[in-house]
Amino acid sequence: MGMTVAPDQIERIVWNQHQNPFEVLGPHQVEQEGKKIWVVRAYLPRASEAWVVFPEERTEFPMTSVHHPHFFECVLDTPEIKNYQLRVKEGDRSYVSYDPYAFRSPHITDLDIHLFAEGNHHRIYEKLGAHLSEVEGVKGVYFAVWAPNARNVSLLGDFNHWDGREHQMRRLGNGIWELFIPGLEVGTSYKYEVKNQAGHIYEKSDPYGYSQEVRPKTASIVADLDRYTWNDSEWMEKRRHTEPLTKPISVYEVHLGSWLHGAASEPGLDSKGNPVPPVIVADLKPGARFLTYRELADRLIPYAKELGFTHLELLPIAEHPFDGSWGYQVTGYYACTSRHGSPEDFMYFVDQCHANDIGVIVDWVPGHFPKDGHGLANFDGTALYEHADPRKGEHKEWGTLVFNYGRNEVRNFLVANALFWFDKYHIDGIRVDAVASMLYLDYLRPTGEWVPNQYGGRENIEAADFLRQMNHVLFGYFPGALSIAEESTTWPMVSWPTYMGGLGFNLKWSMGWMHDMLDYFHMDPWFRQFHQNNVTFSIMYAFSENFMLALSHDEVVHGKSPMIGKMPGDEWQKFANLRALYTYMFAHPGKKTLFMSMEFGQWTEWNVWGDLDWHLLQFEPHQKLKYFISRLNELYKSQPALYTQDFSADGFEWIDCSDNRHSVVAFLRRAKDDVSEYVITVCNFTPQPHAHYRVGVPELGFYTELFNSDSREYGGSNMGNLGGKWAEEWSYHNCPYSIDLCLPPLGVIMLKLDRSKVMPGLAAKEVSDPGEL
């Protein structure tokens, strides 16, 4: 019998130049001499012999080489072919496997391709990437990748000796390549071999891969994200029906890789109690290993709970090759870093957070990505995920590339990625990194090295549209979630809803407040009288956005000094200044974020290669500062006036902000829907205490001293007001009544009217409107 396929078709397969190998390989029904027969073809680059095996009939038929020593075919006179296998001999080794090219129906539908092409496939991560599948009763893994400008794409792995000739993929519409490989399981390492039009080869990790090897290795790993049993249904349901902006939000920002390390000689355990190979930190810290997600759940969560934080914010945990990037140069957007364990281990960590009433926020980096050869850069031999023009597609100062937000498929990749972390890992929020770098075309670019938008402006309209789409879709799927922008400019309406023209975030970091307050507290207290506006100016714009007050990792690196080191004075004054800053922060409108180490006053900057300076907690000042933070969080969560109306001017009133000579400010915070629920805060930002300092109040009665940052139990001088003060009929600060206070040095006090107490010998007087000062 003659050849059943043209020689040029064989050559295209052999030289890996065929975009649809299913046209040649696998089972085909052909007609010869007026009779329909079946022919099975296979290209087996290392085989010397091969057979077609029918396991149910227990028969096998030899294949013959055709035109090429490794191109085999077998002609079968049978009415149908199903469930056949190939027995292959390679030298002294032989094996039996199902033929990938016998499974001819693509898993990706025309609708999937259409939605992806228009940028609206919100669960594209369930179609692209590597997915456990069962086809015609045969289990295996289905692979799909987007590479529209590639000449060919193949799969690489231990299953084919990393030989791209063996598992050549089929091109579908819009440049999607796919192949089902039977017999593969969870834990299989793989890459894509992508050839450009000139035949140059790029070995790429899977952009949609769920797991990756521990650096410095870069292969993706097949993972099953649906086999973990979640126990947080009550938490998730409650979140769906909660408006987070009216709840207390106090965030502990953590870099998992440097919060605490373990000893390499004492490996962690997996979910089955088996030892986990240690992931060594770096040569800079010999003998140290990263803690696993499960170990972090056992250590970090109780610590954060003891301190009273409501949320953990994790610096990026998506896969990244370089530890020193802190996670902000991501190569695996859909893979949690394997430094700390498996995807299931991270799910356990989130689950345990929810069991302890702690939400999880993840730093997300859609603004740029690194140039590493295995990553997204030049993915199919062209600028696919990035702009081709470096004036738009490169951050030279960071050495990274910028996403092409105008390309539908790229935008889909990012929007779906945000949803993915909420969907698969049950996270509660994202903090979007470096939003300003996305919004401005001239960000960190000299004149002449950036391209204006179509209107001649510097605004990146495509990036703004992407952010609106991402937030609109996110809140549609996950009401009650948090989307926080790290945005450092005056771009308007960042935290306004998209239907009002905003970018759609529900919180924005207040970079202005942070800079003003750190500048202010860095000064010698004597000079603060000339800079009262540093304290007061934030209220001028406090309600233009939904602000989060953040003292983040960026403020304790690169020579900026740790928080305690920024404070002036001797050791006592440094701690007192820090307590005053933190208390003012928690009294000020806005949600709160503190970076790890700030809670106990670390004397050194954050070092990504080392542990926090935990040994400091053997010393009383550091112990007391940590206790202070726990009590401050406790107070914050117990007083609705401090959190229910953060973003409305109705929730804040100055009592007096003009006493710059003494560096004193006093203000009132009101609860939502209850004007009688309020907390008065008085701040003394100098080391000079003030006796008989009068402050106006709206009502008569006894004002309990809720909190005093100068308390002895926090390391202060213990000056205060003996538990509280009675108001007097002495109008002051445009208020009908006032109280005579003792203001402690470098101290902040909070007071609240105790309505259960009646002034001795005098009936408490009513005011017509207790909401007016």
**Tens digit of pLDDT for each residue in 341-359?**
999 999 999 999 999 999 9
Q: Is the separation of the CB atoms in 59 and 77 below 8 Å?
A: no
Strands 311-314 and 250-254: parallel
Residue 772: the pLDDT is 36
Token duo for residue 224: 């099953």
Q: Give me the residue label for tokens 């356990």.
A: 348
Question: Does residue 433 carry a catalytic annotation?
Answer: yes
Pairwise CA distance, residues 494 & 489, whole Å: 10
Pairwise CA distance, residues 596 & 552, whole Å: 9
Query: Which regions in the chain score pLDDT beneath 50?
Result: 763-773
Closest C-alpha among 637, 484, 635 to residue 548: 484
CA angle 248, 249, 250 (to 5 degrees): 115
Closest C-alpha among 623, 598, 596 to residue 260: 596
Beta-carbon contacts of residue 546 (< 8 Å; ≥ 6 apart): 245, 495, 505, 506, 507, 508, 646, 647
Q: Is the separation of the CB atoms in 504 and 522 below 8 Å?
A: no
Q: Counting Cβ atoms within 10 Å, is residue 214 exposed (0-12), middle (13-18) or buried (19+)?
A: middle
Q: Is the separation of the CB atoms in 380 and 373 below 8 Å?
A: no
Residue 392: its H or E element = helix 390-393
> Which amino acid belongs to residue 190?
Y
Phi and psi at residue 671, to the nearest 5°: -80, 160
Find out whether the peptide bond into 744 is cis, omega within 30 degrees of 0: no
Pairwise CA distance, residues 212 & 223, whole Å: 9
- Cα-based distances in Å from 646 to 249, 544, 574, 575, 643: 11, 11, 29, 27, 6
Closest C-alpha among 622, 619, 623, 673 to residue 648: 673
Residue 767: the pLDDT is 41
Residue 764: the pLDDT is 42
Helix (H, G, I), strand (E, B) or coil at 149: coil
From the candidates 112, 126, 363, 486, give the one annotated as an active-site residue: 486
Q: pLDDT tens for residues 511-524?
A: 999 999 999 999 99
Residue 428: its H or E element = none
Residue 671: the pLDDT is 96
Closest C-alpha among 632, 87, 696 to residue 310: 632
Pairwise CA distance, residues 472 & 476, whole Å: 6
From the candidates 313, 433, 677, 699, give the one annotated as an active-site residue: 433
Closest C-alpha among 766, 717, 764 to residue 743: 717
Pairwise CA distance, residues 179 & 145, whole Å: 10
Question: Does residue 158 carry a catalytic annotation?
Answer: no
Beta strands in 456-513 (DSSP E): 482-485, 507-509
